[in-house]
Structure 1
Amino acid sequence: QNIADEHDLQLLANEISKEHDRLLEEVQIWESIKKSKISISERLKLASVDDVIDRMQGKLAIEPLEPIEEQPVVLLILVEGNILLLSYPFSEKWKQDDNLLGSFLTAFSTFRDEYISQGLDRAKFGEETLLLQSTDSFLICYLFRGQTYSAKQKLNFFSEALNKEDHAMETIKRAVSNKEEINASENPQIEDLIVKSFMTDTELFQTPFKAYTGDEPFVFASYAHANKLEVYPIIDYLNKMDVKIWYDEGIPISENWKNQ
């Protein structure tokens, strides 16, 4: 999925992410099958082997992205020892029930180290999915309902933008040093960034068009990824006015941008 994202293969990346989500949803089913005496023919039917083979042979086209309404549940920032640095509940249920957060943190602490050591980035909690993203100093956890691919884009955007907000990072570093919890409502920069990252329409995070690669003169758009929500509408407007534009659609750090 990461490789597909780096090369702007959004349909492929989304399909890989959906397969990952589907696997997590069916783990319990497969665990029960292993303990039962179900026939081989039934196992093959459940595995949808024909569909898998057709996809491998390219007989099944990857369907275009279908916008699915994502429901943010809660955003957490934790430091070593599962110490809560920041919690931002999006749903009224989580805002009004403190026991929910405590129960979730207790459950999360039992598998956190194992998941991170294995390089896993998501886990299922009933109808909710938890995305994990580590930084040098803390761990960002995003619990939501819906498709993981769009949620992952929002989490990446938040992480990149947060690291570029000097004031916000100073607040976080100070809280880590003092081992105190941050109240987002008392820190407008952090709260604005959370709202901007997770409450924005998913489609706005998608690259608006294919970058120009011809031999004619073109405009080079240079921007920080953390500013793409402001940049994309501008270059999209210019592109619709027949201005040829090249812009970074997701060049890996190791790549030479001049060659791209």
Structure 2
Amino acid sequence: MNPTDDELKRIEALIDSTQYHLASESLLRLITETNLSHTQKLEYDILKATVSNKIGRFTESILSVESLTSIPEILHSPVKEISLLSLQVDNYFRLGQMEKCLDLINTGKGKIDQHADFSQQDRIKHTAILVNIEAGIFWQSGSSKKALELLLDLYEIQKDTATPDELADTLEHIGVLYNETGDHTKALQYLDEALAIVLLLQHNPRLALLYNNFGWVHRLLGNMALALDYFEKSMKLEVQSGNEYRLAVVINNIGKLYYQQGKFEQASQYLVRSLQIGRKIGNPFELSTFLFDLILNNIELNKQDQVNLYLNEFQKVCLNNDNIRIMQRYQLAHALFLKSSDELRLKFQAQEIFKEIATGPVLEHELTQLALLNQCDLLLSELLITRKLEILDEISPLLDKLIYVADNQHSYFMLAKAFLLKAKLAIIGMDIDQARIYLSSAQKYAMDHQLDFVAIQISEEHDKLLDQQDVWESLPDKSISIEERIQISGVNFQLLRKIREKTNDMEPQKTEIPVAFILMNDCGPMIFTEKFESNFDYNDQLFGGVLSALHTYCEELFSRSFDRAKFGKYTIILYSKSPILFAYVFIGASYEAQKRLSSFIDKLGKNQNLWAQIEASVDANNVLKGEILQEFLQMFYECFPESKF
């Protein structure tokens, strides 16, 4: 074989093995150092168009394909003609030129039907490429269910005839669409099936895409640490592949995750970088995502000038593209900016936009939930200004709708925020016990899903409310004004705070001072006690009875085992893990205390052997001793180093 033909085959193998940058360098060297024959130049141009697409140079790939489509050798080769047409469809899709995409898809389907030389397997293969992109167009235009139907039908056709790589492509896209429609369980099921195939194929670009999509699902589920791990794996592979288009998406997802955790400065670094790459590529759909997330982050950072600049850029994207999802993102971003203003007329404008999105078709579940949350927040502001308690009747069903939708979507960030808002409404209604129930629910959602900045905020509000319990109990009736109710509670009634308040919220105002730790049978008898303060003196039997009664009360009141009570300067946190009741007494803010107790109990529960022995000791004589006690103490001292040895 001719050495040049060998080199072309080698470059083709590099592309197949996803070594795109190496393939690109080899193509450049080949064209500058070798005189190619007509046939070799044709193969070279096809490879160049393919590599350009794979590394995100879509405009360059379009020009290469256009130069090839009129060449007789291409026109007389159905496989090459359809392959180039599919490549062109993907190029236009990545650039957001959907009308051209759809025209080419219809042309491609017609050509596949016309060519008698195509085998059934070839027909399915090339149709699948076009249908996957067609589903992507429907998804981006807000028709996720239609897109999902297309791919499920395709999968039924493919599953017995498609190659593993082709099947993985469809499985992944089905997983993405299930995630988009809110069925995260099915999303993970299909993504897992795709991952099993891709790991066998060792196909790194597909693996990078899958890791990104796993991260996306887990971010929505509130598994932030796992989501970040997936995103970082994806980013590493995308850097290696050199595909800037996909790299920008992953970087933006990392920024969005940091935003959701309240790490706004850290988020900004990633979000700005993704926008810079997105501008170079020019896909309006992705640009709208990057701009939306960056605007929300800058609102939190109180960078109004930057928000204005990004909104102006966003508006131009909308004017040049007739896409309802892009428009809805812009409307919501604009409404959130208006809401951040101190001017009432702008807040009223924002309220109308929130209402329109919340009651309109669900194009993106996150956007609908965000609109509902902010609609409720502005109604609460209206209630505080007008003092019309009947507004509560308007807010309550909206909040219930938000909680229902967020619960079905496993949107724990929204659930935490919604229950915090319900707690504020309960305070206005002077139902303090119910407010504490909502605050406990809100904090549990936030703590269980690594939403630390939300959890800290909620915990501090709960502490403030608890500090005023004697005042609430002394009030004779509900005749006091709304302003007095809010003032007594000490709770901040603005859902979105100024940046200086946000910064303070990121860290607890003070750490707790440990006083005592008690491990007891949930029926009453103490198993283990540790005093951190020598002057904290109590009768074991009497104190055990008090804790047992408090636990029963909390179970009845909160329907949860993890809550707090306050006695003078002491706060007590109780946690039940049957048959054990844990009690931690401390002075100070609750958040760090809750995290520490929760961490200790998690570690204890993961040591299945130790936990089984503790359970057996409880059943036998309520005493820890010997090796069981020593192993327990080692773990206890790691979590509570202030303890005496």
Question: TM-score scaled to structure 2, two decimals?
Answer: 0.27
Task: Provide the C-alpha distance between the structure 2 equivalents of 1:137 and 1:191, rounded to a whole number of angstroms.
Answer: 19
Distance in 2, Cα, partners of 1:134 & 1:14: 22
Pair 1:184–1:59, CA change in 2 (3 A) = farther
Q: Is the 8 A contact 2:522 2:576 kept in 1?
A: no
Q: What does residue 546 of structure 2 align with?
A: 107
Distance across 2 between alignment mates of 1:198 and 1:114: 27
Q: Which runs of 5+ in 1 are unaligned?
A: 201-260
Q: Distance in 2 between matches of 1:187 and 1:22?
A: 38
Determine whether 1:155 maps to 2:155: no
Structure with the larger strand share: 1
Relative to 1, partners in 2 of residues 1:150 and 1:178: Cα closer, same or farther, differing over 3 Å?
Answer: same
CA distance in 2 between partners of 1:183 and 1:31 (Å): 44
The corresponding residue for 2:623 is 181
SS class of match (1:56): coil
List aligned pairs for 1:88-127, cutoff 5 A.
88-94=530-536, 97=537, 99=539, 101-117=540-556, 118-119=559-560, 121-127=563-569
Partner of 1:228: none
Q: Which has the higher contact order (CA 8 A, sep 6+)?
A: 1
Question: Which residues of structure 2 form unaligned runs of 5+?
Answer: 1-442
Per the alignment, residue 476 of structure 2 pairs with 34
Distance 1:104 1:125, change over 3 A: farther
Q: Distance in 2 between matches of 1:168 and 1:194?
A: 12
Matched residues in 1 for 2:627 and 2:472: separation?
A: 43
Q: Does the aligned pair in 1 maintain the 2:518–2:526 contact within 8 Å? A: yes
Question: How far is the alpha carbon of 1:88 from its aligned partner?
Answer: 1.8
| Paired amino acid for 1:4 | A
C-alpha deviation, 1:40, in angstroms: 6.7
Is 1:86–1:181's contact at 8 Å kept on the other side of the alignment? yes
Give percent identity, aligned residues only: 27
Given the two structures, how large is their TM-score scaled by the length of structure 1? 0.63
State yes or no: 1:197 paired with 2:639: yes
The total of aligned residue pairs comes to 194
CA distance in 2, matches of 1:40, 1:80: 40
DSSP-derived class of the 1:123 partner: strand
For residue 92 of structure 1, give the secondary structure of its aligned residue in structure 2. coil
Say if 2:514 and 2:587, in contact at 8 Å, map to a contact too.
yes
- Cα deviation, 1:73-127, whole Å, max 9, x if unaligned, reads 1111222421212212222224xx453x344223223332121233251111211
Q: CA deviation at 1:18?
A: 0.9
Separation of aligned partners in 2, 1:140 and 1:192:
17
Cα distance in structure 1, aligned partners of 2:578 and 2:628: 24
Aligned residue number for residue 467 of structure 2 = 25
Superposition deviation, residue 186 in structure 1: 8.2
Q: Deviations over 1:28-57 (max 9, x none)?
A: 1111123597677655543568x51xx225
Which runs of structure 2 are paired with 1:174-253 in the superposition (5 Å)? 174-182=616-624, 187-199=629-641
- Report the counterpart of residue 444 of structure 2 in structure 1: 2
Q: Provide closer, same or farther for how the CA distance between residues 190 and 48 of structure 1 changes in structure 2, counting only shifts above 3 A.
A: closer
Does the aligned pair in 2 maintain the 1:74–1:88 contact within 8 Å?
A: yes
Q: Secondary structure at the match of 2:459?
A: helix
Structure label with greater radius of gyration: 2
Question: Which residue of structure 1 lines up, in the alignment, with residue 583 of structure 2?
Answer: 141
Name the CA distance, whole Å, in 2 between partners of 1:26 and 1:185: 45
**CA-atom RMSD in angstroms:** 3.0
SS in 2 for 1:111: helix
Letter in structure 2 aligned against 1:125: F
Q: Tell me if structure 2 keeps the 8 A contact 1:74–1:144.
A: yes
- Between the aligned partners of 2:594 and 2:605, the Cα distance in structure 1 is 17
- Which deviates the most, 108-117 or 11-20? 108-117
- Change in CA separation of 1:129 and 1:46 when aligned onto 2, cut-off 3 Å: closer
Higher helix share: 2
> 3-state DSSP class of the match of 1:81?
coil
Correspondence for 2:518: 76
- Classify the secondary structure of the residue corresponding to 1:21: helix
